Structure 1
Amino acid sequence: MSAEPRVGCAVDTDGRITFDLPRPSAEGQQLLLRLRPKRGLPERAVHVLDLEPADHGGGRTVLGGRPVLEEGRWDVYLLEGPGSPRQRLRPGLRDLRALVDGHLRDWPSPLAVRTPYVTKDGHLAIRAWLRPAHAEVDGIDITDRSMTVTARLHGAALGAEAVVHLRLRAGDGAVHTLEPQIGDDRRSFSFTVDHTEPAAATGTGNGVWNVFVQPAAQAPLIRVARLLDDVADRKEVFVYPPVTVEGATLRPYYTVDNDLSVGVKRAD
């Protein structure tokens, strides 16, 4: 059995991804991007890109700003020709330097972000986010009494009635509301969570509080997250220390979608 082919990729500041197949390409070869379906559901979204001969002797193709990829994980395959079997691709060189400082840029609405990454089984995939607006976490400062989050809003502005909501993911869906400190640009903001408040509001069991900002009265909630850099999966990379208060352990963390949440666990 032949080794799985490799493909390199480079991302530019406009979000375009250039794919380079190092081996000689044949006429009719294509890359296929498939939105990974949720468990038990059928495949419903694919994009096909034609490979063209490149100066290095291999094949090259570019995923431009259009089509905008739906939010999710996109697996990358090689097709030797239209209708041929799909071959998974191993990653070659991934040039993600243009993504590193993404949090320093202003992003329009809708926010469309793509980050190539390596799956757990060693194949190339793309993590895509597509959101009407986005609140990017800049930093989290944790003490034994509270947690302060600084963030910046993209695709919207903060009004005088802006609030931050912590929503209990399960149970009665309790909401804890905070008033943010808003910067002069009406986009940067910060908020402080007193550890005792979500600990008491969680009750006797465990719970997870999802973090949102509402930029104006009646405006849609915007998930607070960290998406604008080169880290596709930060849950196991950005690990914050737990704090124990009133018999509960609290810890902010990033979900599998890189959204910010606060976990509360009671001692057994």
Structure 2
Amino acid sequence: MPRPASGAAATRPEPPAAPRADCIADSAGGLTFDVEAPERADSWDTALLFRRRGGRGGPADELRLPLVPSGESRLRAVLPSTVRLPEGRWDAFETAPGAEPVRLTSGVNDLRTITDRHPDPGSGPVAVRIPYATKHGNLSLRSWLRAPHAEAGDLLVRDGEVVVEGRLHGVRAGRGAVIEARRRLDPSHIRTAPVTGDGSHFSATLVYAWFADVWEGAEEPWDLWLRPTGEDGAVAVRIARILDDVADKKAVYSYPARPLATPRGPAMAGPYYTVDNDLSVRIGVRATPG
């Protein structure tokens, strides 16, 4: 069997580079995607495909948008603000008839127009889509669809407590409104703080000592909800921060933890955002809530 000459190395063709997509957002929350396609710039049969991560592959877990020639060796697709995506993470692909979908890499995401959005508090569901690059550099969308919604604003961290402020959408804070901290390990454990505000705005102070008596010594989160009135049957709303351009606040927003005395010994307490950008308080032994 012939062998390559001494010093010669077998070469393999490099796999084609994954196509890159740039994205720009408009002020209403619509997204325009431009896909680099020098070999397909005149193609009219390709599509931008979004698949919901963890979905079952049914119609509700896929969205196809036509990709049309847009000059300069590019194809363009538009996701209007009126098209609602179920909540979750959506991975982006380019697809053509008879070919397997190709994962798109993330280019430039221009999200300046959706930074600190302020939709009408009395309008319909709050719908947010934020494009982002995964840890492998691929393009994905994080989608939220909340009705009603409690948008977290400033957090004032003080010794022994945190002041939570925000704005309500689709519901108003009435008489007897409270913020509920629900222990994730056992949701029957609830601590409440009275809400002050003018109906759409809310503010409440959470005292860390309220959580000390049931702490068991491990990292323990308490999830924050807002119950808009004290009436029986009033539906509580999860407090989150989604009306900006940060898809993953847990990795970006960091708040100091404060010492907390508990029956099991010293602990630390502080607020943090979960992987879904929901607001929680964590009791643990670390210096920061992570």
Residue 205 of structure 1: CA displacement? Answer: 4.8
Q: Which amino acid aligns with 2:268?
A: T
1:83 and 1:257, CA in 2 relative to 1: closer, same or farther beyond 3 A?
A: farther
Aligned pairs for 1:106-255 (under 5 A) are 106-107=120-121, 108-171=123-186, 173-183=188-198, 186-203=199-216, 205-216=218-229, 217=231, 218-246=233-261, 247-255=266-274
Residue of structure 1 in register with 2:3 after alignment: none
| Letter matched to residue 269 of structure 2 | L
Identify which of 9, 12, 16 aligns with 1:2: 16
The C-alpha deviation readout for 1:41-64, integer Å capped at 9, x for no partner, is x33310111111114341111011
Specify which of 89, 109, 119 is matched with residue 73 of structure 1: 89
CA contact (8 A) 1:78 1:88 kept: yes
Q: How many residues of Structure 1 are paired with residues of Structure 2 in the alignment?
A: 260
Q: Are 1:262 and 2:281 counterparts? A: yes
Ranges in structure 1 where 5+ consecutive residues have no aligned partner: none
Question: Pick from 10, 17, 21: which aligns with 2:31?
Answer: 17
CA distance in 1 between partners of 2:258 and 2:184 (Å): 20
Match of 2:212, SS?
A: helix
SS, match of residue 181 in structure 1? coil
Q: CA deviation at 1:202?
A: 3.1
Q: Distance in 1 between matches of 2:241 and 2:214?
A: 26
Partner residue, 1:53: 69
- Give the drift of 1:82: 2.9
User: Does the CA-based 8 Å contact 1:53-1:60 persist in structure 2?
Assistant: yes
Any unmatched runs of 5+ in structure 2?
1-14
- Aligned partners of 1:36 and 1:43 also within 8 Å: no
Alpha-carbon distance in structure 2 between the residues aligned to 1:206 and 1:21: 43
Q: Which of structures 1 and 2 has the bigger CA Rg?
A: 2
Residue 106 (structure 2) pairs with residue 91 (structure 1) = yes
Residues 90-119 of structure 1: CA deviation (Å, up to 9, x unaligned)? 1122110111121x3425221111000011
Root mean square deviation, CA, Å: 1.7
Please tell me the residue identity of whatever aligns with 1:27.
Answer: W
Asked whether the equivalents of residues 179 and 204 of structure 2 are also in contact (C-alpha less than 8 Å), the reply is yes
Provide the C-alpha distance between the structure 2 equivalents of 1:202 and 1:222, rounded to a whole number of angstroms: 25
Equivalents in 2 of 1:196, 1:35: separation in Å? 40
**Deviation per residue, 1:211-249 (Å, 9 max, x gap):** 000112222110111100000001011011111110121
Identity %: 37
Could you state the TM-score of these two structures normalised by the residue count of structure 2?
0.85
- The Cα offsets for residues 51-97 of structure 1, whole Å up to 9 and x where unpaired, read as 11114341111011343101000000001x23420111111221101
Distance 1:57 1:206, change over 3 A: closer
Query: What is the deviation of 1:256?
Result: 0.2
Counterparts of 2:98 and 2:86 in 1: how far apart (Å)?
23
CA contact (8 A) 1:168 1:202 kept: no
